[in-house]
Structure 1
Amino acid sequence: MAGRAGRPKYDVEGEAIIVARSGGERDTLMERYVLGEPEVIESKLASESFLRTQILATVASDYAHEREGIMDFLGRTFYAYQFGSDFLGGFLEDILRFLVSEGMVEDRGGLLFATPFGRRISELYIDPMSAVIIRDGLRSKVERVTDVGYLHLVSSTPDMPRLYLGKRDYREVGIFADEHRFEFRRSPPDEWEDPDGYEWFLSELKMAYLLERWISEASEDEIISQFGVGSGDILRFIEAADWLLYATYKIAELLGIRGELPNIWRLRMRINYGIREELLDLVRLVGVGRVRARRLYDAGFKTVQDLASARVEDLVRIPAIGRELAEKILVQARG
């Protein structure tokens, strides 16, 4: 609740203030946060995803180039303190085999070095498994290159949160899957031969569907109602998709797949703002977000150049645009 109070190495103590609205709430807060037992915490290295990321980072940062050095590092972590280091050796070998086989690490007679691909993935700070999924998806052949194909690709990575599938989702997301079946950069499992895999695919696709609704300018309330999520969840999904699309752009750039770079970058900007493609020019203006950009566009101001010849009186007639903002918009458009 208070976070970390005081600066390590600089302060011997820190202060945090809890404001209670009543005497009863004061007693409850005191009992829970001041006198209560500390919560149990576990090391994130217990997650294989996080362990993959850290082992690659250890090699890519030149901290260690031998298995013994990596084991020494892992042996001094909170995970080793909690669970012992006995299991780490097996995990280390499995993960190193994966990193070598996927071209992120080279094993030169027992010395381990990150490849350019591995170094880039470590810099992007995504799960190496996510990087493999994105790389293979970029190299795949699809009948139609679309935004939905890319949204499903990033939604199928371990770095993207998962959405729960409700009863109505099977039909709704299934229809969405059928409509876009020629666009996926990862082949969906067969519904009858691999029902569990297909259900997982639908869960991934539900996230892609949510993101597609966001860039189609559905309101937050509409998304909350349709997908059963909270407004904070939407922000979390957008941030994850934004970063994964940035990673996709950088991986495509590294692989020399330059023809897709403009498409990926435009999609990332649309995710950022929650807009259709025609609004990309307008949202460059400070003070203009998805709602104001749509209202400007619908009023006939489809580009920044259109706004350059507008008058303040023209803009203040548009809902959500006052005189001060109208003047700022015109200064930017004419600059």
Structure 2
Amino acid sequence: MRAVEFLDKHGMVEFVDGTLSATKLGKRVSELYIDPLTAVRLIEAMKAKVEEITTVTLLQMLCMTPDVPSIPMARIPFERLANYYEKHKEELPVKPPDPDEEPEAYEAYLEALKNVMVLEAWVNEVSEGDMYERLGVEPGDLAALREKAEWVCYSANQIANLIKAVDFINPLRVMTERLRHGVKEELIPLVRLEGIGRVRARALYTRGFRSIEDLKRASVDELMSVPGIGPQIARRIKEQLSEMP
């Protein structure tokens, strides 16, 4: 009964002619296989007031949900977390609870903030080796975290479309791809190509191949001059481009 009350309170079910039915929101949440509490927290974050929607804004939205797990990290002391919070507090849609009144909730808040730090490093193209050295996160834990975060981000985009949270629709769509590939927004067109990951995409971008049109104009030999792009990869790039309109 409490579950039904929770779903009813948050607009995911309704009674129609005495029959309990899922609303459009409830159906979409079920289709996305996310915890209803995740949906509630995402919607609350979209309604919160922040001066600007930034990378950190979006990542905290995701990390404050039960569907994004905390992962073990050994190298983020409290002082560093506190400094990170002070730097980004105006961007955060969810504010911290009082540590004296809600110590467990405060600890969970800090754990989520650690996840934000890790994911921010990932989408800003910090290498996995550097992330281990700086943050103490193992590659397997990082993979699990970013996969969960990517799905919740996609789900958030779907919910934003449904509730018409227009300011969040495109930023969440972009962030979903950034989480998938571990890149800044400028590299998204490049990493969509088969065989081009974050390292090769950055190498291409640095050499001036910054768009699909740039790649279409380039010869195989020009592409091969880029570090990490051998003849097979260069030819595969050109094959893919030839199939594009």
Q: Report the TM range for the smaller structure's normalisation.
A: over 0.9
Deviation at 1:224, TM superposition (A): 2.2
Task: Give the counterpart letter for 2:48 in structure 1.
Answer: S
Matched, 1:254 2:162: yes
Residue by residue, what CA displacement relative to the aligned partner does 1:108-154 show, whole Å, maximum 9, x if unpaired?
57531111111111111100111100111112221121111110111
The structure whose Rg is larger is 1
Work out the percentage of aligned pairs sharing the same amino acid: 37
Change beyond 3 A, Cα 1:215–1:317: same
Question: Which structure 2 residues correspond to residues 102-181 of structure 1 after superposition, within 5 A?
Answer: 102-108=10-16, 111-164=19-72, 166=74, 168-181=76-89
RMSD: 1.8
Task: Give the counterpart letter for 1:172 in structure 2.
Answer: R
Question: Of the two structures, which has the highest relative contact order with CA contacts closer than 8 Å and spacing of 6 or more?
Answer: 2
CA distance in 2, matches of 1:234, 1:165: 10
3-state SS in 2 of match to 1:246: helix
CA distance in 2, matches of 1:279, 1:108: 48
Identify which of 192, 196, 201 aligns with 1:293: 201
- Per the alignment, residue 189 of structure 1 pairs with 97
Change beyond 3 A, Cα 1:103–1:194: same
Change beyond 3 A, Cα 1:212–1:199: same
CA distance in 1, matches of 2:240, 2:191: 12
| Conservation of the 8 A alpha-carbon contact between 1:165 and 1:203 | no
- Per the alignment, residue 236 of structure 1 pairs with 144
Change beyond 3 A, Cα 1:115–1:293: same
| Conservation of the 8 A alpha-carbon contact between 1:279 and 1:293 | yes
TM-score, normalising length: structure 2: 0.92
Deviation at 1:292, TM superposition (A): 0.3
Task: Give the counterpart letter for 1:284 in structure 2.
Answer: R
Q: How many aligned positions are there?
A: 243
3-state SS in 2 of match to 1:180: helix
CA distance in 2, matches of 1:286, 1:168: 35
Deviation at 1:330, TM superposition (A): 2.5
Matched, 1:217 2:128: no
TM-score, normalising length: structure 1: 0.68
| Conservation of the 8 A alpha-carbon contact between 1:305 and 1:333 | no
- Per the alignment, residue 61 of structure 1 pairs with none
3-state SS in 2 of match to 1:327: helix
Change beyond 3 A, Cα 1:167–1:211: closer
- Per the alignment, residue 96 of structure 1 pairs with 4
Change beyond 3 A, Cα 1:164–1:284: closer
Change beyond 3 A, Cα 1:122–1:291: same
Deviation at 1:195, TM superposition (A): 4.1
Identify which of 191, 194, 201 aligns with 1:283: 191
3-state SS in 2 of match to 1:113: strand
| Conservation of the 8 A alpha-carbon contact between 2:72 and 2:137 | no
| Conservation of the 8 A alpha-carbon contact between 1:163 and 1:204 | no
Question: Which structure 2 residues correspond to residues 257-272 of structure 1 after superposition, within 5 A?
Answer: 257-272=165-180
Deviation at 1:180, TM superposition (A): 0.8
3-state SS in 2 of match to 1:182: helix
Change beyond 3 A, Cα 1:322–1:167: closer
For structure 2, which runs of at least 5 residues remain unmatched after alignment? none
CA distance in 2, matches of 1:331, 1:290: 20
Task: Give the counterpart letter for 2:115 in structure 1.
Answer: M
